[in-house]
Copies of this chain bind each other. A is one copy, B any other.
Amino acid sequence: MQIQWKPDKSKSDYIQDQIIQYFKAKISSGSWPVGTRLPSERKLAEQFEVNRSTISHVLDELKARGIMASYGSKGTYVFNNTWSLMQQPDWNRHIESSLYKPNHKMIQQINKYEFQEGIIRLGTGELSPDLFPKDIMKALLIEASESVLALGYEENLGQLKLREAISQHLTTLNIKASPDQILITSGALQALHLISIGLLQFGSNVYVESPSYLKSLYTFQSAGMRLQGIPMGNEGLDVDQLRSIYKRKEGNLLYTMPTFHNPTGIVMSDENRLKLMELVNAYQIPVIEDDAYRALWLDTPPANPLKSLDPNGHIIYVGTLSKTFAPGIRVGWVTGPQTVIERLGDLKMQLDYGTSSLSQFVALKWFEHGYHELYGADLRAKLLDRRNHMVAALKRHMSPYGKWEVPTGGFYIWFVLNKKINSSVLFERALKNNILLNMGHIYDFKENHALRLSYAYASKSEIDQGIEIISRLIQAL
């Protein structure tokens, strides 16, 4: 091979880069196909009028990148001329070697199909747009427009007035939390992310009801924690099982949703709550209590949170406006011992420097004007009607195929199939019929044949239509 080209010495400090670019141009243009042997380092150095060490460095660089390779002592040849290898950083290798896990494939699909037109969302954990309090929102935004909002960066923990309003709200649940024990988060999910990086260590065990929606989230798994499922019955998680498998270690903790559990709808009984708190106190078990669905009771108000039985600070309590007002507002809160809240607030400054001030303002007025109670009552009536509608549809179409309990609050009916089915096949066939299902197995630690149905999102006619189609698909399987 004859090389005529020489680097341009007038831009002396670019020589290596010029040579690399020259080689890459030759290879990517096809002038030097795969297998082409290069002249020796000595000859290249002579031709380019540079030191041999410069040539060495250039060839090492191209070899490290997989573009060239050596025959031992016999010289260097072109090994690969793939365009992306030649021209781009290898982003896929960056992604594969990085810290966090991608979401569950089915969750990725669900996240995507939720935005497809015409799809019936039978499992969505979100209020229907019909249930959005438009008039309240309008009033709150007009109020916001009249206030002088500077919208600067916020205090570490979030707007003081909003923390005061939430502190007030928590007293109605028998929880004493001063504003400096409350952190405003971008939804309850962010509180979990903050806990994962701010309180737990790689390899910690997070004990959690089995099934649990936490299993589908990957927030803890990505940060290197292991989820351990605790069986649950109609009274909530099995405290004896927890006692027997719980291992004391910094970073280990219990995550529980004792009230209107997602996905099963179960409410932990009063007796079981006391039993759990006795264990928690005896073993000093740190607990995250997720109380996202509390306000959505349909029959009678549920027992107060575990946090109300926690004078010693074992529990980190998480709440949100996503399920009772609107998820798009992205306002949640977390309360617990002050050292914990300060830690989480400090780390929030490394993640996003605070939650939208606009959202915080609207949330403040939501509480101040009493909409949390007023609209809550309205919403419960509408959700009750929807729940009853879905239960009737299940009775009509699904009785032969499985069992369910009628939930006393929240969004979900946990439908357990009588027979094994192939979850992925049912999911795909439902999709072909424009129905999006949240299959139970994404929430579980063991094989399961269940569906998380939601009466919160789809309209009544969509519920009827959807359930009927699903019943036919199950029959066919």
Contacts and interface: CB of A to CB of B under 8 A. Distances in A.
Contact of A156 (B111, B326, B327): B111
B278 A198 contact: no
B350 A103 contact: yes
Interface string A348-377: 011111111111001000000000000000
Contacts of A223: 99
A313 interface: yes
Contacts of A358: 328-329, 356, 358-359, 362
Nearest to A186: B352
B196 A16 contact: no
Given A21-B278, A190-B351, A328-B357, A250 B112 contact: no
Contacts of A107: 349
Dominant SS at the A interface?
helix
Contacts of A273: none
A329 B356 contact: yes
Contacts of A149: 132, 134, 137, 328
Interface size grouping (class) on chain A = 35 or more
A282 interface: yes
Contacts of A354: 328, 330
A278 B20 CA distance: 10
A284 B88 CA distance: 6
A76 B52 CA distance: 73
A289 interface: no
A224 to B, nearest CB: 8
A65 B350 contact: no
A248 B350 contact: no
Contacts of A150: 129, 132, 326, 328
Contact of A94 (B114, B185, B193, B200): B200
Interface stretch (A33-41, A138-146, A163-171, A463-471): A138-146
B251 A352 contact: no
Contact of A330 (B185, B248, B346, B352): B352
A95 B199 contact: yes
